[in-house]
């Protein structure tokens, strides 16, 4: 702050450098949307390994392709997943109830897993501790009880000490403690939404301990369940609750199924809005006959049954074909067919970590782990039918194994000649956009004049220079690789009067070497 000198002497003041460092955002946070055995409904939940997904969402589930996609993601190098569980109730709401004497509990979320819950009420063993808790609340030790809840399916046990049912019990009231501290149960509610507090203290529970009943896994999802409602953030719109995600996987709801085109459209639309890439699974009918799969896929893409009803958001979506065949541990190791989206997302995450978001996630280094074979073994000529219409092929080569062998967005068709034809170019642009969006928030409400513009050029230029030095752009010099312009030409006096500052950022992306042409010529003496 400015110094106000009042006496003769030396004054010290600290002056800000004016440098605002822009940090790059994550590039491979992958969102998964679909049904799971358990877990919060409609809430993006971070999982950093499959063990965490197993604890939160119940792990592999034969009725939920989502769980296998998440497993493929981590098996192929994925680092962070955001799981969004969707649930459609059947005859009941699917939430198990657990009645312990006069204490009515409900499972924390729907699913048949709630039927494995058991619970019991105990009297506090430490009388002195109970009395110390009860005194400040205006209660006695005889007004408190202990609650033990066990999930026999996972072995998880939760113990809550010194609970009370009195409405004035404050922080020890049973409904409040369970709401904040339990991942297994909640206190039941009355019709008006208020907690169903017992009128008297629950008695100690004799054996056998009561078990949960009435929980079920719901029914298959319809397109409307995926589409949801934007105002209530349900379905795919639950992704709006997430701070950041870069890739989106929406596996079909059933094995061998295909997502409705309206769901694919909505997924691509949300990705375009939130700066992400939708990894699309192929329709199940494409690989019904392996001998004609490539021709059928091409016919569908160019008009027979397009994968998106409109290519408006096609630059934020990419299609991969065919599907994977691998062993299912829940069915005795039998071979089954699975969607490829999770494995492809894992390959992208691995490539980002090893090379950068500007490297195409394809080639012999983009191996797919866990898959034993593909549903269709494409030849070079069949690959040649699909690549020009923006269908990214998964191929199997001797020694190398299964690999991703295509890197185009749905606007990558040769006929469209779109700027965002290639996945790495699109993802690099999304990375820059998101990083600059977050890194320039400090500009808002600053005085709109040359000192501000100079600070913007400095911070944005430093960010782009850092990417250039990492090899993200074409060009031998920064002048050839990128530009950052923010001055009186980009921001006119009329813009200043309207409170607008314009920043122009350009970059020269690296294009993948998709085709390698080797010319061989004999050298002969005359």
Q: What is the DSSP letter of 303?
A: I
Query: How long a stretch of residues is the chain?
Result: 526
Tens-binned pLDDT, residue by residue, of the chain (526 aa): 678 888 999 999 888 877 789 999 999 999 999 999 999 999 999 999 999 999 999 999 999 999 999 999 999 999 999 999 999 998 899 999 999 989 999 999 999 999 999 999 998 888 888 888 888 888 888 888 999 999 998 999 999 998 988 888 888 899 999 999 999 999 999 989 899 999 888 888 888 889 999 999 999 999 999 999 999 999 999 999 999 999 999 999 998 899 999 999 999 999 999 999 999 999 988 988 888 889 989 898 888 888 998 889 999 999 999 999 999 999 999 999 999 999 999 999 999 999 999 999 999 999 999 999 999 999 999 999 999 999 999 999 999 999 999 999 999 998 888 999 999 999 999 999 999 999 999 999 999 999 999 999 999 999 999 999 999 999 999 999 999 999 999 999 999 999 999 999 999 999 998 888 889 888 887 6
Query: Phi-psi bin for 460: left (phi > 0), alpha (psi -120 to 50), beta?
Result: alpha
Confidence at residue 28, expressed as pLDDT on a 0 to 100 scale:
95
CATH 3.40.50.11780 residue ranges of the chain are 30-88+219-425
CB-based contacts of 399, cutoff 8 Å, min separation 6: none
Confidence at residue 1, expressed as pLDDT on a 0 to 100 scale:
63
CB-based contacts of 263, cutoff 8 Å, min separation 6: 223, 226, 227, 236, 250
What's the rounded Cα separation, in Å, for the pair 301 and 415? 13
What's the rounded Cα separation, in Å, for the pair 246 and 488? 34
CATH class name, domain 30-88+219-425: alpha beta
Closest among 363, 373, 387, 407 to 294, alpha carbons compared: 387
Number of other residues whose CB lies within 10 A of the CB of residue 46: 15
Confidence at residue 441, expressed as pLDDT on a 0 to 100 scale:
95
């Amino acid at each position: 702050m400015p110094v106000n000198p009042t006496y003769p002497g030396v004054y010290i003041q600290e002056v800000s450098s004016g440098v605002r460092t822009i940090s790059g955002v994550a590039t491979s946070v992958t969102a998964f949307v679909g049904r799971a055995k358990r877990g919060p409904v409609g809430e993006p939940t971070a999982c950093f390994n499959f063990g965490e997904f197993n604890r939160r969402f119940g792990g592999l589930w034969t009725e939920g392709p989502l769980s296998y996609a998440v497993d493929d993601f981590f098996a192929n190098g994925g680092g962070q997943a955001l799981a969004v569980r969707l649930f459609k109730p059947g005859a009941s709401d699917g939430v198990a109830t657990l009645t312990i004497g006069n204490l009515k509990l409900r499972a924390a979320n729907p699913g048949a897993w709630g039927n494995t819950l058991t619970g019991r009420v105990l009297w506090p063993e430490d009388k002195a501790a109970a009395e110390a808790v009860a005194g400040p609340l205006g209660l006695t030790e005889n007004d408190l009880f202990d609650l033990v809840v066990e999930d026999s399916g996972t072995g998880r046990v939760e113990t809550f000490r010194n609970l009370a049912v009195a409405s004035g019990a404050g922080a020890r009231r049973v409904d409040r403690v369970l709401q904040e501290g339990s991942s297994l149960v909640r206190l039941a509610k009355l019709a008006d939404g208020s907690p169903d507090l017992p009128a008297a203290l629950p008695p100690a529970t004799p054996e056998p301990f009561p078990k949960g009943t009435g929980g079920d896994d719901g029914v298959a999802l319809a397109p409307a369940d995926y589409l949801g409602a934007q105002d209530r953030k349900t379905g795919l719109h639950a992704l709006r609750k997430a701070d950041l995600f870069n890739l989106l996987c929406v596996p079909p709801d059933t094995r061998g199924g295909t997502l409705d085109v309206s769901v694919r459209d909505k997924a691509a639309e949300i990705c375009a809005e939130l700066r992400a890439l939708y990894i699309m699974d192929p329709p199940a009918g494409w690989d019904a006959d392996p001998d004609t799969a490539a021709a059928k896929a091409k016919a569908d893409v160019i008009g027979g049954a397009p994968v998106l009803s409109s290519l408006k958001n096609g630059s934020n979506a990419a299609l991969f074909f065919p599907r994977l065949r691998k062993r299912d541990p829940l069915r005795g190791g039998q071979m089954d067919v699975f969607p490829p989206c999770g494995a492809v997302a894992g390959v992208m995450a691995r490539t980002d970590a090893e090379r950068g978001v500007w490297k195409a996630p394809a080639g012999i280094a983009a191996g797919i782990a866990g898959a034993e074979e593909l549903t269709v073994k494409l030849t070079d000529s069949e690959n040649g039918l699909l690549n020009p219409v923006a269908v990214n092929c998964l191929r199997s080569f001797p020694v190398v194994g299964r690999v991703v062998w295509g890197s185009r967005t749905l606007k990558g068709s040769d006929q469209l000649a779109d700027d965002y034809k290639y996945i790495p170019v699109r993802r690099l642009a999304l990375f820059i956009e998101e990083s600059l969006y977050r890194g320039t928030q400090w500009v808002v409400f600053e005085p709109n004049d040359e000192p501000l513009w100079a600070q913007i050029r400095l911070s944005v230029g430093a960010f782009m220079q850092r990417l250039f030095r990492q090899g993200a752009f074409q060009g031998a010099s920064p002048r050839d690789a990128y530009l950052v312009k923010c001055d009186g030409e980009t921001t006119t006096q009329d813009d200043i009067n309207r409170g607008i500052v314009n920043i122009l950022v350009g970059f020269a992306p690296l294009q993948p070497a998709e085709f390698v042409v080797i010319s061989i010529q004999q050298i002969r003496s005359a």
